[in-house]
């Protein structure tokens, strides 16, 4: 495995009905961006045979390299952006559209139990997520040209 990605397409259930009678018209993808890393950790590290080091490599380092953002992203070193994730491996939860931070009416992973989640996330050295909730400044985002 080189990296992991998602075809994050948050079409709602009504939009999916565009394919009624003709499946080729169903908008592709599912809302998945919030759950991608947690599912990888659960199925790969916690319940599988993926090492934590390989998990970090696949979820962060390789993606940054592929998209030409390394070493600013995907590394912990002088000159990088100080985007860090403190992952809580003891967290236990269940994926649900009702508790998701994505604005969608369903989850493709509805009912999946997860082991672990990001507890604290820093973006360029400032806390953006704490306790599973966004607490950062929405205006702090930056477009990185590649």
Q: Is the dihedral of CA 27, 29, 30, 32 positive or negative?
A: negative
Q: In what order do the strands lie in the sheet with 126-130?
A: 84-94, 113-123, 126-130, 133-134
The domain 13-137 is placed in CATH, from the list 2.60.40, 2.30.40, 3.30.1540, 1.20.120, at 2.30.40
* Tens-digit pLDDT profile for residues 34-91: 999 999 999 999 999 999 999 999 999 999 999 999 999 999 999 999 899 999 999 9
Mean of pLDDT over the chain: 93
* Tens-digit pLDDT profile for residues 127-138: 999 998 999 999
For residues 79 and 59, the answer to whether their CB atoms sit within 8 Å is no
- The first and second tokens of residue 130, run together, are 């704490």
How many H helices and E strands in the chain? 4, 4
Q: Which of 35, 23, 30, 41 is nearest to 87 (CA)?
A: 41
* pLDDT given for residue 1 in this prediction: 52
**What's this model's pTM, rounded to 2 decimal places?**
0.89
């Amino acid at each position: 495995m080189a990296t992991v990605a998602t075809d994050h397409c948050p079409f709602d259930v009504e939009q999916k009905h565009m394919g009624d009678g003709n499946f080729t018209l169903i908008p592709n993808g599912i809302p998945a961006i919030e759950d991608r890393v947690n599912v990888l950790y659960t199925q790969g590290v916690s319940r599988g045979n993926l090492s934590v080091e390989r998990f970090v490599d696949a979820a962060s380092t390789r993606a940054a390299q592929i998209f030409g953002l390394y070493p600013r992203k995907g590394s912990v070193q002088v000159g990088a952006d100080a985007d860090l994730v403190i992952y809580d491996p003891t967290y236990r939860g269940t994926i649900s559209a009702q508790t998701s931070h994505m604005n969608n009416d369903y989850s493709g992973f509805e009912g999946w139990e997860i082991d672990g989640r990001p507890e604290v996330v820093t973006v360029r050295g400032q806390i953006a997520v704490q306790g599973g909730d966004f607490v950062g400044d929405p205006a702090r985002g930056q477009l990185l040209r590649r």
